[in-house]
């Protein structure tokens, strides 16, 4: 009977639905020494929690930063690096804006524009037509499938 109650409490414990009193009951059960054989796998977990609760650090820890060659001027160095990085980024943006083409790709000569347009359309047609060869196979497959299905 007791093990069934403990099993239900364990299920609730693993679902994070137990109260403090229920968790204390679980700790007391697993530290009592009279644990059901199928629940003995949980003994180390609850005993560890009880032991960890009593551990305290007795030594006082102090921290003193080391004084290195750049310790006082480190903030100055970092601020100058940040300023230099900002200037480099700003210059990159300005130079990029100057190098952009302001034209829209128009041609003054209408014959040259017609020639370039034809070249672009022929290239696009070539790529579009390269996929149509495979469509013959699909059409043959569909006609054969229709014969078999009917």
Q: Are residues 93 and 116 in the same domain?
A: no
Q: Which of 64, 81, 102 is the last residue of a domain?
A: 102
Whether 61 is in a domain gets the answer: no
- Does 46 lie in the same domain as 26? yes
Judge whether residue 118 has pLDDT over 80: yes
Domain-embedded: residue 68: no
Q: What's the total number of domains in the chain?
A: 3
Q: Rounded to whole angstroms, how far apart are CA atoms 119 and 63?
A: 74
| pLDDT for position 89 | 92
Is pTM beyond 0.85 here? no
Helix (H) and strand (E) counts in the chain: 6, 0
- Contacting residues for 36 by C-beta, under 8 A, at least 6 apart: 3, 6
DSSP code, position 38: G
Q: Is the pLDDT of residue 1 over 70?
A: no
pLDDT in tens, 57-90: 788 888 776 666 555 566 777 788 889 999 999 9
Does residue 89 share a domain with residue 121?
A: no
Is pLDDT above 60 for 102?
no
Domain-located, residue 145 = yes
Label residue 113 by pLDDT band (50, 70, 90): confident
Torsion over CA of 18, 21, 25 and 28, rounded to 10 degrees? 130
The reply to whether 118 falls in a domain is yes
Residue 67 lies in a domain: no
Clarify whether residues 40 and 82 are in a common domain: no
Q: 87: domain range?
A: 73-102
Residue 93 lies in a domain: yes
pLDDT of 104 reads 61
* Domain termination residue (choose one: 102, 119, 140): 102
């Amino acid at each position: 009977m007791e093990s069934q109650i403990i099993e239900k409490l364990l299920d609730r414990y693993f679902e994070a639905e137990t109260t403090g009193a229920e968790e204390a009951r679980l700790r007391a059960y697993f530290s009592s020494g009279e644990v059901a054989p199928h629940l003995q796998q949980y003994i180390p977990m609850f005993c560890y929690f009880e032991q960890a609760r009593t551990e305290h650090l007795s030594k006082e820890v102090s921290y003193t930063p080391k004084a290195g060659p750049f310790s006082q001027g480190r903030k100055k160095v970092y601020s100058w690096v940040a300023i230099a990085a900002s200037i480099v980024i700003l210059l990159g943006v300005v130079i990029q804006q100057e190098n952009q083409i302001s034209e829209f790709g128009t041609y003054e000569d209408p014959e040259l524009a017609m020639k370039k347009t034809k070249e672009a359309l022929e290239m696009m047609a070539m790529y579009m037509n390269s996929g149509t060869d495979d469509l013959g196979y699909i059409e043959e497959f569909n006609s054969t499938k229709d014969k078999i299905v009917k």
